[in-house]
Chain A
Amino acid sequence: MKKINSTFYLLLTPVLAWLVISIVVPHLDLLFKSFQFENDDGLMVFSFNNYLAFFEDDIYWLTFVKTALYSIGITFLAFVVTFPVAFYLTKVVAKKYSSFMVLLLLIPIWIGELVTIYGWMILLSDNGVINQFLISKGIIDTPIEMLYTNFSMTIGLLYMSMLFMIIPMMSALESLDDSLIEAASDLGASKWTIFRQIIIPYAIPGIVSGGIIVFMLVIGDYVAPNLLGGKSSLWFTEQIYNEFLSTFNWNEGAAFGFLLLLLSSSIVWLALKLTGQKLDRVGP
């Protein structure tokens, strides 16, 4: 028994160290710092001022609400755009092509967000590929303003996040027995009925875990809103970023960070509760 114990502690110690030092302590510290405020005498005191600043200034909580709504909207959009693809790759296309097509989906993920977002900047700018193409074909005379708008930001956020949704949805669809669909079809069910009553309910676990990954990526993203969004498309992470790296008000930044964490985890919790899922099934 003693040998088993020593191995157990050999495994436990580094894992415990990892979780305590890099996850638990920093987040407790974040919470603690968010209640620290420098008073007129230059002393750090306990206070709610950092949170009050959030509610008093319109731009903060408006950005917060906007970020939340946009993230939910983009998650839904990602589902609408990618579900047909996930279904195509698991159930429609010939098996010999599907693995290569899945491989193509992984490439933009591994290239990384910064490079792909940069690609979109070149595509969407006034001198960009899309505008120049349309002008050369005589469809438009002056460039359409696409870059630095909510539109370009949405495209960027969708692009960097949606592929993470396909894989979980595919693994859910893979275990769906084709004979269920065949039987429904034989009994005269329309495509829409099969889709709504068989395919969607069956794929719900994949949709939820994919949706959570997309939502977290979008709400916590900085690069796409910052590089592709305009003045009107401020993202809440940009506020946090400014507090830390421009105005150096770290305590207020900590409060904002904690609010973002609270928002994202409560929406994830809600999504899990509503669909009866567990966090440990949300993996890559």
Chain B
Amino acid sequence: MIRTLPNSPLYTLVYRLYITLFYLFLIMPLMTICVLAFNDSNFISLPWKGFSLDWFFSNTDERLGLFADEDLLWSIWISLKTGFVVALLSLVVGTMAALLFEQEKFRFKGLLYFLALTPLVIPGVILGISILLTSTFAGTYIEENFGLDVEFLRPSFWLVVFGQFSFGATYVMLLVGARLKKFDVTLEEAALSLRATRLQVIWLITLPFLRPALMGAFVVAFLISFSNFNTTIFLVGSDPTLPVDLYSRIKFSSTPVLNAVSFMIVAFITLSAIISFVLNRKKS
């Protein structure tokens, strides 16, 4: 049953077979995309018609490849930009929240911490519609009473950033908080007794200690933003992010360029995962 106990060969065989099938189930959709991205065909699916790089580089009316499709490249750029800003904002506020909840004592701490966790259990759709309702209401109110047209209160780049930040900060808070739990408080106490200010302690001691967690949290927040659809769809303006663009293409005009983009995402994520794995292994 476990490593140290003997098992019947049949049990071991069946168990291994199940695990193999499970991993096959995981890899199947990804493999399919990767192979079909190089299919010399005008349809997203089979039959296989030979190897071709058309859906990456071709620039004809019939076949508009990924690197010639300006709309698609634009939405990738928007997603990168959104992800970067969201990750940065989430990192700053999420880290502050982690410091606040791990190191300070104050009234209503439990309530605030509960609120900070709620994005984990609020469906993304709800977060999207409630922010849309409120920002639209605020925008109309300001326009009627002050005659000002506040652009970021309408569906736009900044509203998407705001919506994604609202749950991105929670993930940063949890990741940084977990590392902060392992922090040796005597280091801070020593610095404080040597007359460092609280802010100096955070800047010179706590944050350097947190650095690996901060970098990890930044990447996580970026990836969460980059792949988010459920919240983004309600807040997006005239510039769609990549998931929103992909969704409308899948729904209304699917060409194998979708396979090409998906292949790039799969390849990029897999490579980065393997690189980080190898680097970690070397360190330890």
Contact = CB atoms under 8 A, between A and B. Distances in A.
Given A92-B3, A92-B15, A30 B126 contact: yes
By DSSP majority rule, is chain B's interface helix, strand, loop, or mixed? helix
Contacts of A110: 223, 227, 269, 273
By DSSP majority rule, is chain A's interface helix, strand, loop, or mixed? helix
Contacts of B27: 104
Contact of B116 (A19, A240, A257): A19
Nearest to A94: B3
A243 to B, nearest CB: 9
Interface residues on B, range: 35 or more
Contacts of B266: 111, 115
Contacts of B92: 14
B104 interface: yes
Interface string A228-258: 0000000001001100110000100110010
Contacts of A22: 131, 162-163, 165-166
Interface stretch (A53-61, A200-208, A217-225): A217-225
Contacts, number: 257
B10 interface: no
A284 B167 CA distance: 13
A7 B199 contact: yes
A11 B169 contact: no
B14 to A, nearest CB: 10
A91 B33 contact: no
Contacts of B97: 11, 15, 18
B125 A11 contact: no
A159 interface: yes
B234 interface: yes
A114 B243 contact: yes
Given A3-B197, A222-B230, A106 B123 contact: no
Given A4-B198, A30-B133, A194-B1, 20 more contacts: A11-B104, A15-B93, A15-B96, A22-B162, A24-B115, A103-B277, A105-B26, A112-B227, A118-B33, A118-B258, A122-B32, A122-B259, A163-B26, A182-B2, A220-B126, A227-B251, A237-B123, A261-B126, A279-B114, A283-B174
Interface of B: 1-5, 11, 15, 18-19, 22-23, 25-30, 32-33, 36, 43-47, 92-93, 96-97, 99-100, 104, 106, 112-127, 129-134, 137, 162-163, 165-166, 169, 171, 174-175, 178, 197-199, 202, 223, 226-227, 229-230, 233-234, 243, 246-247, 250-251, 258-259, 262, 265-266, 269-270, 273-274, 277
CB-CB nearest 6 A-B residue pairs: A220-B123, A119-B29, A112-B227, A22-B166, A26-B130, A30-B130
